[in-house]
Amino acid sequence: MLMGGGGGLSDFVAIDSRYVFKLPDNVPSDVGALVEPFAVAWHAVSQANISAHDDVVIMGAGPIGLAAIKCIKLRQPRNIIVVDITPERRRLAQMFGATAILDPWEDDVVARCKELCDGVGPIVAMDCAGVPSSIKSAIQAVRPRGRVVDVALWEKAVPFQFNDLLHGEKTITGSCSYSREDFENVIRAMEDGLINVENMITRKTTMTRVVEDGFQALLQEKEKHVKIIIDARLP
């Protein structure tokens, strides 16, 4: 389930044995906690059908957008352009391997994407932001016959000009969650050292401080954190 009862904050959780994965000895549990968000990104990148030397733009450098950078890098693209309004997340995107960083408040995103990609734009856009301006820019930025992959969840209907897809014969695809195979691929990539996720962990705290250092931090200091790890062991 994407949301609802039976999650990690329940007193007890029953899990089908088919969905339990053993971590390799060289993957610690705190890193293993990030397999799930990386599986979301891995699935989306697979949906995007990215090949070597492709140009890609990612809208939004939250946890999934940042994870997508690392998954895309394994496919040896030419350019990974990342668009985000937050300075700290733009800094993290650059650290994770983005080749160009754009601030939508300062940059003409569509024009800059075309300029960076031979005047025609990237072949793939991934929307991890989930705001009307991001999906609009993603559709307009990709080159003719380009692909847009929506990874974000939306709270309300989003208006956009369908002609932006029609002209140029562009396609848009939804990517939801992941499969068992995505989980296995991410764990294998972590085991082989192909994906280093430790710099995504921006804080570690305990169950006794989960409200102050966990939930409130994500609500009040969202731009400063990517993933906060909670040590579930009681003192």
pLDDT at residue 223 is higher than 50? yes
144, part of any domain: yes
Same domain for 216 and 139, yes or no, is: no
Is the torsion defined by CA of 81, 82, 83, 86 positive or negative? Answer: negative
pTM of the prediction?
0.89
Same domain for 205 and 120, yes or no, is: no
218, part of any domain: yes
Same domain for 156 and 112, yes or no, is: yes
pLDDT tens readout for residues 83-104: 999 998 999 999 999 999 999 9
Which residue, of 159, 174, 189, is where some domain finishes? 174
Q: How far is CA 157 from CA 58, 74, 86, 171, 186, in A?
A: 21, 34, 25, 19, 32
Same domain for 111 and 225, yes or no, is: no
13, part of any domain: no
222, part of any domain: yes
Question: Which domain range does residue 214 map to?
Answer: 201-235
